[in-house]
Amino acid sequence: MIKIIEAQSKKEIADFVKFPFKLYKNNPYWVPPIIKEEIKSFDLKNDIFKSVDVKFFLAYKNNEIVGRVACCINWTEVNDLHKSKVRFGWLEMIDDIEVTKALIQVVKEFGKTHKMNYIEGPMGFSNMDKAGMLTKGFDYIATMIGIYNPEYYPIHLEQLGFKPEAEWIEYKLDKTLYNEGKLTKMASLIESRYNVKALEFKTTKELMPYVNEMFALLNKTYADLQSFVPIQDFQIEHYKEKYLQFIHPDFISCIMDENNKMIAFAITMPSFSKAFQKANGKLFPFGFLHLLKAIRKNNHAEFYLIGVDPEYRSKGITAVIFREIYDCFKKHNIEFIETNPLLIENNKIQLLWKNLNPIIHKERKTFRLDL
């Protein structure tokens, strides 16, 4: 018999966070979170929960944890975008359809209680969280913000009546295909024509005054995507704390116009996947050393976020961005590049990679079930 309990106490939330460590023990592709940071991000006192209702659930069988799920309602999405939806995320379970069925049932009940029309997942509290169940690329290591799951996960959901909703793809890119001379010449031409300039940051402290402007441009860049939920001001502080500690200032590119207004940015980062695996959920006593090493010596990088003001999309500004990125990768001896998930309908962003021999190596989807 499968028993579902709501995880509320500190111990239960800790059990919720630690369950995947047991499920994926010795799995070479899963990337574990930092346990302490993950627990902290689920604290309902966080500002991010000002616009989100959430509950966490654990599934037990024979007195052992065999699954987990979080269900939430993003009220910005419901009220402003008129999507009467319950999100479910952090879904993990053993290969037992009855366990999956029991977990989904509590999500359905949560949705019906709040008079929602459908459920969709996996996805997080906002668009800055991990989203999309892996449907291709099960033999590739996950990125820091990419969900990893076994092949039976989407099979279970389809057996329970779910249908695919949003779809993402991820690319492997060939840095060597960029013509450095041509790129430099084009970037200089664009800078001169539109009187724009690239900023360079030596420290995270120098970067901080521009972060809010990046988020504002991010909202503007993706506003026309049907699945995008704008990031609220109070949520920005949460994601600053969560992710900025892993960003090296060399890997940030910001392009400003003649009035010192940001018109484009790109955030890349050294891959932390193997470092997180070695840390195995703990920064101390030695986990942080693996992360420091990943920052300082790494031949693998990931594209995290890129934003371009719609007014400049057709003006070649990306040449300036990619020149900055290329110079950074050259400085840090980056050989392998990987994108994070890109929505399948986001053709404008996908076109950025056309000269880098993009190969789709991962695919992921959210799944929907009407209530």
Per-residue pLDDT of 19-35, as tens digits, reads 999 999 999 999 999 99
Query: Is 223 in the same domain as 308?
Result: yes
Last residue of a domain, one of 169, 192, 224: 169
Q: Is residue 120 part of a domain?
A: yes
Is 247 a residue whose pLDDT tops 90? no
pLDDT tens per residue, range 190-226: 999 999 999 988 888 888 888 889 888 888 877 776 6
Cis amide bond preceding 20, omega within 30: no
CATH number of the domain at 330, please. Answer: 3.40.630.30
pLDDT value at residue 110? 96
Reported as half-sphere exposure (CB side, CA atoms, 13 A), residue 119 has a value of 26
Is 283 a residue whose pLDDT tops 70? yes
Is 123 a residue whose pLDDT tops 90? yes
Q: Is residue 370 part of a domain?
A: no
pLDDT value at residue 353? 74
pLDDT tens per residue, range 316-355: 888 898 899 888 988 999 888 898 888 888 777 777 777 7
Query: Is 163 in the same domain as 203?
Result: no
**CA torsion through residues 211, 214, 216, 222, sign:** negative
- 8 Å CB contact between 353 and 268: no
Query: Is 71 in the same domain as 113?
Result: yes
Q: What are phi and psi of 147, to 5 degrees?
A: -75, 135
pLDDT value at residue 67? 98
pLDDT mean across residues, the chain: 89
Query: Is 202 in the same domain as 86?
Result: no
- 8 Å CB contact between 156 and 88: no
In angstroms, the CA 290 to CA 131 distance is: 26
Is 234 a residue whose pLDDT tops 80? no
Q: Is residue 325 part of a domain?
A: yes
pLDDT tens per residue, range 136-170: 999 999 998 889 999 999 999 999 999 999 999 99
Q: Is residue 192 part of a domain?
A: yes
The encoded tokens of residue 317 equal 């500004």
Percent of the chain surpassing pLDDT 70: 94
Q: Is residue 367 part of a domain?
A: no
3-state helix, strand, coil in the chain (%, to 5): 40, 25, 30
Query: Is 199 in the same domain as 123?
Result: no
Query: Is 338 in the same domain as 193?
Result: yes
Last residue of a domain, one of 169, 191, 213: 169
Cα 5 → chain centroid = 28
Last residue of a domain, one of 145, 169, 193: 169
DSSP state of 63: T
Number of domains in the chain: 2
pLDDT value at residue 343? 86
Average pLDDT over residues 225-238: 68
Q: Is residue 221 part of a domain?
A: yes
Query: Is 327 in the same domain as 180?
Result: yes
Query: Is 201 in the same domain as 118?
Result: no
Comparing 6 with 229, which gets the higher pLDDT?
Answer: 6
- 8 Å CB contact between 308 and 219: no
Q: Is residue 30 part of a domain?
A: yes
pLDDT value at residue 34? 94
Cα 270 → chain centroid = 15
Query: Is 152 in the same domain as 187?
Result: no
Is 297 a residue whose pLDDT tops 80? yes
Instruction: Please tell me the least confidently modeled range out of 77-81, 84-88, 118-122.
Output: 77-81
- 8 Å CB contact between 99 and 354: no
The residues that bridge with 264 in the sheet, in sequence order, are 255, 308
Q: Is residue 299 part of a domain?
A: yes
Q: What are phi and psi of 263, to 5 degrees?
A: -115, -10
**In the chain, what is the straight-line distance between the N-terminal and C-terminal CA atoms, in Å?**
25
Strands of the chain, DSSP E: 2-6, 52-61, 64-74, 85-93, 118-121, 133-136, 163-173, 197-199, 252-256, 262-270, 300-308, 336-339, 342-343, 359-370
Query: Is 136 in the same domain as 187?
Result: no
User: What is the domain extent for residue 165?
Assistant: 2-169
In angstroms, the CA 295 to CA 310 distance is: 32
